[in-house]
A = this chain, B = another copy of it.
């Protein structure tokens, strides 16, 4: 019916996502996005309504793929609850130290934490997206932890919900530490100690 696109929208979203992740929302200019995606301004503004719309879609793509990958680990019925939590932490450590940088395994820092810190106070849409994502993760974390509490491998001194929030916060702490310069061994140590709190 008309002239077709010469680019893949998802690839463009990935490129934009990487840029927002590296520089942050404010520090990323539309020119940066053109450079990163290889698209002209017209194509970007024709495909996405605005810089902010592009950011929202990139963020949505990021949190969904990231959380989906994490939940797959947490829902792996072949492993014990404690094993699954260890695997989750290992995934975060790999993501923070890994050379390859694909959705679900990003380089230092993560777009979720970055956006929480940079934008959540001023951007209700981003805040809502991140809030939904957090609730999604907490639900599954709580279930895994509850399972571990029932089989005795995870402490029952604390509520499952509280422990789930702790795991979430521990991961955020690891990500901030990573940006602050912590190496792989340091991150693994943080994960080990966080696990101590769960199994104590």
Contact = CB atoms under 8 A, between A and B. Distances in A.
A122 interface: yes
A27 B23 CA distance: 13
A90 interface: no
Contacts of A189: 158, 162, 165-166
A8 interface: no
Given A26-B26, A173-B170, A193 B113 contact: no
A120 B180 contact: yes
Interface size classification for chain A = 35 or more
A99 interface: no
A22 interface: yes
A131 B182 CA distance: 11
Contact of A176 (B121, B172, B182, B194): B172
A83 to B, nearest CB: 19
A66 to B, nearest CB: 15
A157 interface: yes
A39 interface: no
A179 B109 contact: no
A158 B117 contact: no
B200 A131 contact: no
When A and B form their complex, which 4 residue pairs have the shortest distance between CB atoms, in order from nearest?
A: A173-B173, A169-B173, A26-B26, A197-B197
